[in-house]
Amino acid sequence: MMHSKTKRNEVVSMNIIELKNVGYAYENKRKVLKAINLSLEEGKMYAILGSSGCGKTTLLSLMGGLDSPSDGQIFYEGKNIEKAGLSAHRKNNVAFIFQSYNLIDYLTPKENVALTSKLPPQPILERVGLTEEESRRNVLKLSGGQQQRVAIARALASDAKVILADEPTGNLDEDTAAEIANILKECAHQMNKCVVIVTHSNELAKQADEVLRLHRGEMKMLDRLNQSGRSGCYTEIVLQTYKAFNR
Amino acid sequence: MNLGTRAILYTARKWKKTLLLFCLLLSITTLVLSGLAISDAQEEQAEELRGTTGTSFTVSRNTATGGWGNGGNGSYSTQEYLTSDMMEKIVAVDGIEGYNASIRTILCLSDVNGQWLEQLEPTGHSMVDCQFYSYSCINSEYHSLFLSGALEMCDGEMLAPSFDNGIIISKEIADKHGLHVGDTIQAVNDPFSNDKTKELKIVGLFEVVADKTDERNNFNEASYYDYANNAFVSETTMKALLENYEDVGYASADFFVNDPEQLEGIIQQVQKITSINWNNFIITANDEVYERVSSSISDTGTLVTTLIVLITVVSMVLIILILSMSIRSRKKEMGILLAVGIEKPAVILQYTIETLLIAVAAFPLAYLSSKQVAGMLGTLFGKTAESVIVTTQHFTLVATLGAILLIAAVLISCIPAMRLKPKEILSQME
Ligand SMILES: Nc1ncnc2c1ncn2[C@@H]1O[C@H](COP(=O)(O)OP(=O)(O)OP(=O)(O)O)[C@@H](O)[C@H]1O
Ligand SMILES: [Mg+2]
């Protein structure tokens, strides 16, 4: 296992996902991602910002083992995910939340949550705010926000330590988006998961412990909050840096 | 959740798709099962035909190669006749079922008291009316009039080769004179000569089956005698009645084979019999009827087979199309399942189980429904409804092959999606 240590030699946290020089190009095309190096830790929520088409979804798919990088390697708990098997990686280590919810339409919310989990689905669904009755409906008869909650519940129910969310609030109103953001944050902080969110929303990015920006295939760290300093000044820093970057 | 549960839930909740596939499978399987039953009935009919068309060959004197003599009635062939000895040698060849050769004469029949019997429609001249057109038979069963179906036994039995002092007359003549099977009558060849009169027991009665109103069918063309005025006696009886005349043998004899397909081979075997001088005899095959009927039957057979193959192929294409459309529409689901770490083989297995679940319901039902419709469909191909039977063997065959074909269809339908990476599946649907 890879441990990052402070100068005082105490274990602070663990890099659960590491990307080393990851590059990706779609067939016969320019490189979407160029030599990305990234270390993500458990217990934190990350936001990845970037203009449309810059490769955010691609990066997330690589981390989640939906595809393999053209160059470089991706490690999960120190092991190359390709050597261990991408299918096993998807099954055991990561859980996806998509912008378009991606629920199975012939299954109820309960059954969607139980798809890969042996945990009783109802308490988890209740935790993300679905009633018992809603949990038994056909998923297509739920509102977008409710469907996204089901998708989150499905991610929570799995044992995966990494949750990869691609614009999870893209289709939702502000209030619901804020609630979803809270749930995801809780996931990271209370359940000690590593939550990675791709988003265009500054509101959502503000909730993150770290904000990363993908630009022209390269990754820039915008902000890192220390353990004690999760505070209001965060917003300002983000906005300033964000503006500076966009210039 | 395991893939079996997912398969059941999908089948139950997407019931419209399930119903469509179910109906399709039900009708196709019913058609194929019926087709198989018809094709079997076909085979049976063909087999029956082989046994009943009475295919035979005739051995006759070759008058072209014999010399000619002159007598009171003009010239006659001096070619040798067929003897009993020769006929026995021929009948010993494998595959010959029986044979017959006849001597025709006109016998005068009377009751035990010497009272002449009368023809069906008497002329009033007792010495004409008592004349009955008679055949001797080695085996009356093989007499052409019985084989062709013009006459049919309605009482008593046929004249076997061993039978002596027996006669078969028509039921009409028997009724006319109050005679029955077991009664005795008398027969003489020429009452005005010193020909012997013999007492003969009536062993059987025949009916004229040929249409009564059809003159041509009702009369013996060779003699213009009404078939009802025909009589049949055994070979030994005839020889005894004709003992004043020279026994020359037979001009021709008919030999009957079990299997019409073998006719040619049997004739070749017969021609190898060296004790018979084949320069003096001609062999003619009588298999036009079989050839004609069997070629029409094999035409229907080809038609049925073609139809079964066509139905199966067309329906397989249809099912593959429907399944591929259905699986294409399930790309999103496939992407999600892969994204949550379910492996491709498990997804394919789920789709296979869904299809087989429907088949498990459709196949047995098709078995029952084909039992209802097969007979009806069979009549379209000239089969009687009763002869078209859907058996459990048909069902096992169709169910096994059907299951294999369905699995193949699912696999084929899955190929395009299965070649993609999960990312590609997910990005394609967005
Ligand atoms: N299947 C594909 N084949 C070829 N090029 C692709 C494919 N998918 C994406 N791309 C290209 O790769 C680049 C990155 O795409 P990606 O979906 O990762 O962007 P993104 O950052 O998620 O954008 P958005 O914010 O709009 O979702 C884009 O230029 C896109 O056109
Ligand atoms: Mg995207």
Q: What is the pLDDT of residues B150-202, one digit of tens each?
A: 888 999 999 887 778 899 999 999 999 999 999 999 999 999 988 999 999 99
* Residue with CA at minimum distance from ligand 1 atom 28: A53
* Residue with CA at minimum distance from ligand 1 atom 30: A53
Tell me what the mean pLDDT of segment B92-113 comes to. Answer: 90
Q: What is the pLDDT of residue A129?
A: 87
Residue A2 has pLDDT above 70, yes or no: no
Q: What is the pLDDT of residue A220?
A: 77
> Considering the entire predicted model, what is its pTM?
0.68
Cβ–ligand 1 distance for A232 under 6 Å, the answer no
Check B1 against A106: CB less than 8 A apart: no
* Residue with CA at minimum distance from ligand 1 atom 25: A52
Between the CA of B426 and the centroid of ligand 2 the distance, in Å, is 11
Domain residue limits at A87? 42-68+78-93+160-246
Residue B294 has pLDDT above 80, yes or no: no
Instruction: Return the higher-pLDDT residue of B220 and B311.
Output: B311
Q: Could you say which of B10, B421, B423 has the minimum Cβ distance to residue A106?
A: B10
| Residue A174, φ and ψ in degrees, nearest 5 | -55, -45
B76 — pLDDT class (breaks 50, 70, 90): confident
Q: Which helix (H) or strand (E) holds B134?
A: strand B131-137
Q: Could you say which of B333, B339, B427 has the minimum Cβ distance to residue A90?
A: B339
How many cross-chain Cβ pairs, A to B, lie less than 8 Å apart?
64
A231 — pLDDT class (breaks 50, 70, 90): very low
* DSSP annotation string for A172-216: S-HHHHHHHHHHHHHHHHHS--EEEEE-S-HHHHHH-SEEEEEET
Q: For residue A167, which residues of chain B lie inside 8 Å, CB to CB?
A: none
Q: For residue B11, which residues of chain A lie inside 8 Å, CB to CB?
A: none
B15: closest chain A residue by CA: A106
B328 — pLDDT class (breaks 50, 70, 90): confident
Which of A21-35, B167-181, B317-331 ranks highest by mean pLDDT?
A: B167-181
Check A115 against B340: CB less than 8 A apart: yes
C-beta atoms surrounding B386 within 10 Å: 9
Q: Would A147 be classed as within a structural domain?
A: no
Check B341 against A66: CB less than 8 A apart: no
Q: What is the pLDDT of residue B217?
A: 53
Check A64 against B339: CB less than 8 A apart: yes
Cβ–ligand 1 distance for A146 under 6 Å, the answer no
Residue A198 has pLDDT above 90, yes or no: yes
Cβ–ligand 1 distance for A213 under 6 Å, the answer no
The residue among A47, A60, A49 whose CA lies nearest residue A94 is: A60
Check A116 against B13: CB less than 8 A apart: no
Tell me what the mean pLDDT of segment A97-121 comes to. Answer: 91
Q: What is the mean pLDDT of chain B?
A: 87
What percent of chain B shows pLDDT beyond 90?
43
A195: which strand partners? A45, A163
Tell me what the mean pLDDT of segment B275-296 comes to. Answer: 82
Give me the residue label for tokens 């004469």.
B105
Residue B374 has pLDDT above 50, yes or no: yes
Q: What is the pLDDT of residue B360?
A: 96
Residue A7 has pLDDT above 60, yes or no: no
Residue B73 has pLDDT above 90, yes or no: no
What percent of chain B shows pLDDT beyond 70?
94
Q: 3-class SS at B388?
A: coil
Cβ–ligand 1 distance for A53 under 6 Å, the answer yes
Give dist(CA A220, CA A49) in Å, integer.
10
Q: What is the pLDDT of residue A134?
A: 94
Q: For residue B340, which residues of chain A lie inside 8 Å, CB to CB?
A: 90-91, 95-96, 115-116, 154, 158
Give dist(CA B289, CA B291) in Å, integer.
5
The residue among B47, B48, B41 whose CA lies nearest residue B304 is: B41
A131 — pLDDT class (breaks 50, 70, 90): very high
Residue B262 has pLDDT above 60, yes or no: yes
Which of A11-25, A71-85, B221-235 ranks highest by mean pLDDT?
A: A71-85
Give dist(CA A67, CA A168) in Å, integer.
20
C-beta atoms surrounding B102 within 10 Å: 23
Residue B215 has pLDDT above 80, yes or no: no
Check A102 against B332: CB less than 8 A apart: yes
Any chain A CB within 8 A of the CB of B365? no
Say if strands A194-198 and A45-49 run parallel, antiparallel, or are unpaired: parallel
Cβ–ligand 1 distance for A6 under 6 Å, the answer no
Between the CA of A57 and the centroid of ligand 1 the distance, in Å, is 7
Check B9 against A91: CB less than 8 A apart: no
Among the residue ranges A162-166, A194-198, A242-246, B325-329, the one predicted with the least confidence is A242-246
Any chain A CB within 8 A of the CB of B2? no
B residues 391..430 contacting A (CB < 8 A): 421-424, 426-427, 430
Any chain A CB within 8 A of the CB of B332? yes
Give dist(CA B134, CA B142) in Å, integer.
15
Residue B421 has pLDDT above 90, yes or no: no
Give dist(CA B418, CA B411) in Å, integer.
9
Domain ranges of chain B: 3-49+294-429, 54-287
Counted domains in chain A = 1
Q: What is the pLDDT of residue B140?
A: 87
List Cβ neighbours of A152 (8 Å cut-off, separation of 6 or more).
A97, A128, A168, A180, A183, A184
Q: Which helix (H) or strand (E) holds B61?
A: strand B56-61
Q: What is the pLDDT of residue B177?
A: 93
Q: 3-class SS at A153?
A: helix
Give dist(CA B265, CA B243) in Å, integer.
39
Check B341 against A104: CB less than 8 A apart: no
Judge whether A19 and A37 are in contact, CB under 8 Å: yes
Q: Could you say which of B332, B333, B422 has the minimum Cβ distance to residue A66?
A: B422
A42 — pLDDT class (breaks 50, 70, 90): very high
Judge whether B106 and B134 are in contact, CB under 8 Å: yes
Q: What is the pLDDT of residue B218?
A: 55
Check B335 against A95: CB less than 8 A apart: no
Tell me what the mean pLDDT of segment B254-275 comes to. Answer: 88
Tell me what the mean pLDDT of segment A29-53 comes to. Answer: 91
Q: For residue A74, which residues of chain B lie inside 8 Å, CB to CB?
A: none
Q: Would A146 be classed as within a structural domain?
A: no
Instruction: Indicate the top mutation candidate among A28, A56, A196 to test ligand 1's pocket, ranked by most ligand atoms within 8 A of CB.
Output: A56
Burial of B391 (0-12, 13-18, 19+ CB in 10 A): middle
From chain A, which residues contact B within 8 Å (Cβ)? 57, 61, 64, 66-67, 87-92, 95-96, 98, 100, 102-107, 111, 114-116, 138, 154, 158
C-beta atoms surrounding B371 within 10 Å: 18
Q: For residue A90, which residues of chain B lie inside 8 Å, CB to CB?
A: 338-341, 422
| DSSP assignment letter at A34 | E
Judge whether B157 and B167 are in contact, CB under 8 Å: no
Between the CA of A96 and the centroid of ligand 1 the distance, in Å, is 18
B21 — pLDDT class (breaks 50, 70, 90): very high
Q: What is the pLDDT of residue A43?
A: 93
Distances in Å between the Cα of B56 and the Cα atoms of A23, B10, B147, B222 are 88, 66, 11, 21
Q: Would A60 be classed as within a structural domain?
A: yes
What is the tens place of the pLDDT at every residue in B27-55?
A: 999 999 998 998 888 888 877 776 666 68
Q: How far is A88 from chain B (nearest CA, A)?
A: 6
Q: What is the pLDDT of residue A1?
A: 42
Q: Packing angle between helix B288-328 and helix B15-52, nearest 10 degrees? A: 170
Q: Which helix (H) or strand (E) holds A48?
A: strand A45-49
Q: How far is A91 from chain B (nearest CA, A)?
A: 4
Residue A24 has pLDDT above 80, yes or no: yes
Tell me what the mean pLDDT of segment B96-124 comes to. Answer: 89
What is the 3-state secondary structure of B331-379? Answer: HHHHHHHHHCCCCHHHHHHHHHHHHHHHHHHHHHHHHHHHHHHHHHHHH
Q: What is the pLDDT of residue B316?
A: 79
A197 — pLDDT class (breaks 50, 70, 90): very high
Residue A223 has pLDDT above 70, yes or no: no
Judge whether A75 and A18 are in contact, CB under 8 Å: yes
Q: CATH number of the domain that A48 lies in?
A: 3.40.50.300
Among the residue ranges A205-209, B143-147, B159-163, B377-381, the one predicted with the least confidence is B159-163
B211 — pLDDT class (breaks 50, 70, 90): low
Burial of B362 (0-12, 13-18, 19+ CB in 10 A): buried
Tell me what the mean pLDDT of segment B385-389 comes to. Answer: 89
Instruction: Return the higher-pLDDT residue of A60 and B71.
Output: A60
A116: closest chain B residue by CA: B1
Q: How far is B333 from chain A (nearest CA, A)?
A: 6
Give dist(CA B387, CA B40) in Å, integer.
9
Residue B221 has pLDDT above 90, yes or no: no
C-beta atoms surrounding B160 within 10 Å: 14
Q: Would A18 be classed as within a structural domain?
A: no
Residue B281 has pLDDT above 70, yes or no: yes
Cβ–ligand 1 distance for A99 under 6 Å, the answer no
